[in-house]
Amino acid sequence: MNYLKSFMALSLILFQIFLPPFANSSVYNPQVAEMLSEANPHRWMGWIRALSGADPIQTADGLEKIMTRSSLVMFEPDAKPSAFDYLIEELLRLGFVEGQDFQIHNYDFPYGDRYPQRNWKNIILSFQGDDPKLKKERVLFVAHMDSTSDNEYLIAPGADDNASGTAGLLEAASILQHYRFGRTIDLIWFSGEEKSRVGSSSFVEDYADWLPNIVGVVNMDMFAFDGDGDACFEVHAGTMSESQEIGYLIGSVIEAYDLGLTYDFLDDENAYPFSDHDPFWRKGVPGVLIMENSFYNPGETCEKSDRNYNYHRTSDTISYINSATGFSILQAGIATVAHLAQPLPPKLTGTIDVTFPGKACQLD
Ligand SMILES: [Zn+2]
């Protein structure tokens, strides 16, 4: 036996397991640490439960469950309760004002002529930057709100894909509003992702004047399944060096804030394109996809695939969510966005109080 060889192989394995690529814990920022401590796993899970129909939501007609977030259903006038309406109501409840804090991006129904009021919609919530030199620059934190299944007109809970991300952006919104950043942060809930990414593809066309100012896109798509409990996920950065820098930053925030995660880093042409970061990549805008360990990536940290076997099925429910791993990954996403946007001292102190029907989640 060649002991030196074994030792080197073991060192390599340990290195891969414990150190994300180019991680640098010196990025630590007390403001960001405070943001992460304010993130609330119960509130995040509450939103996942509501969006995936595990819990009913309060509507004008009483308590009802969201059974599907299919884009084919949620924009129909008679679709009640609508996941899209629910998201708008939650933003209003968090204190955001339509036309001022958030805007609705309408795009054409992709399957032929329709009345404009039945077009599909994205939601864009913006936090204006406070640094006169940097505020023109934008950091995008995005997730698709829609779901699908083999019975999507009736049942498509999509708890993992992608209520985890949809709820994650609500969680980010409730925290970020209490902080100041140099750059502008835009949270975008895309629809139509499950229909060939038509929501994000429409966005990059209709908001083409934003593209030169976007320093990075962080796309959260399906990150709360962890069947083997190893807290290993995937970062898909692709071949653009600016995207890879964002990937390294994810490693750094995991180290700096002790998030207990490892990840496969896809920094070549094997990076997964089939989500909302891809329309940005195609326009030369840097970005990454944050996703659970879905694939076997040879030579990478997770070492195997741990795929959610409920993917695009009516069984993608809350029962299969690993809240501990998913919440840590969400924190990594929030911290990455905060660092990209250049955190400044906070404008407010105090508590964030958001309640659910029948529940109360107080932060402090
Ligand atoms: Zn997805």
Provide the CATH number for the domain around residue 94. 3.40.630.10
d(CA 39, CA 364): 10
Tell me the per-residue pLDDT of 73-118, one tens digit each, with 9 for 90 and over. Answer: 999 988 899 999 999 999 999 999 999 999 999 998 888 777 777 8
Lowest mean pLDDT among 111-115, 142-146, 152-156, 336-340: 111-115
Q: Is the pTM of this model over 0.85?
A: yes
d(CA 295, ligand 1 centre) in Å = 14
Q: Does residue 59 sit within a domain?
A: yes
Residue 216 structure tokens: 């990075």
Q: Does residue 27 sit within a domain?
A: yes
d(CA 158, ligand 1 centre) in Å = 8
- What percentage of the chain exceeds 90 in pLDDT? 80
pLDDT at 68 over 80: yes
Q: Average the pLDDT over 34-40 and give the result.
A: 97
d(CA 308, ligand 1 centre) in Å = 12
Residues with CB under 5 A from ligand 1 (ion): 161-162, 221-222
d(CA 26, ligand 1 centre) in Å = 33
Q: Does residue 210 sit within a domain?
A: yes
Which residues on adjacent β-strands are paired with residue 59? 62
d(CA 164, ligand 1 centre) in Å = 10
Q: Does residue 304 sit within a domain?
A: yes
d(CA 144, ligand 1 centre) in Å = 7
Check if the beta carbon of residue 226 is closer than 8 Å to that of residue 306.
yes
Note the pLDDT of residue 152. Answer: 97
Range of the domain at 203: 16-363
pLDDT at 2 over 70: no
d(CA 326, CA 286): 24
- Residue 38: HSE in the Cβ half-sphere, 13 Å Cα cutoff: 23
d(CA 24, ligand 1 centre) in Å = 30
Q: Work out the mean pLDDT of the chain and round it to a whole number.
A: 90
d(CA 162, ligand 1 centre) in Å = 5
d(CA 122, ligand 1 centre) in Å = 15
- What percentage of the chain exceeds 70 in pLDDT? 88
Q: Does residue 8 sit within a domain?
A: no
Note the pLDDT of residue 110. Answer: 81
294 phi, psi to nearest 5 deg:
-100, -25
Note the pLDDT of residue 223. Answer: 98
d(CA 208, ligand 1 centre) in Å = 24
d(CA 190, ligand 1 centre) in Å = 11
Check if the beta carbon of residue 217 is closer than 8 Å to that of residue 138.
no
Domain count, the chain: 1
Q: Does residue 32 sit within a domain?
A: yes
d(CA 147, ligand 1 centre) in Å = 7
Residue 238 structure tokens: 């692709």
d(CA 200, CA 280): 8
Lowest mean pLDDT among 23-32, 40-49, 96-105, 166-175: 23-32
d(CA 273, ligand 1 centre) in Å = 11
d(CA 310, ligand 1 centre) in Å = 12
Buried b (16+ CB within 10 A) or exposed e, 25-63: eebbbeebeebbebbbbebbbbbbbbbbbbbbbebeeee
pLDDT at 9 over 80: no
pLDDT at 236 over 80: yes
d(CA 197, ligand 1 centre) in Å = 10
d(CA 312, ligand 1 centre) in Å = 9
Tell me the per-residue pLDDT of 310-363, one tens digit each, with 9 for 90 and over. Answer: 999 999 999 999 999 999 999 999 999 999 999 998 655 555 555 554 444 443
Of 17 and 198, the structure prediction assigns the larger pLDDT to 198
Per-residue pLDDT band for 7 (boundaries 50, 70, 90) equals very low
d(CA 223, ligand 1 centre) in Å = 9
Check if the beta carbon of residue 172 is closer than 8 Å to that of residue 334.
yes
Of 160 and 346, the structure prediction assigns the larger pLDDT to 160
215 Cβ contact partners less than 8 Å away, ≥ 6 residues apart: 137, 138, 139, 183, 242, 286, 340
Check if the beta carbon of residue 224 is closer than 8 Å to that of residue 158.
no
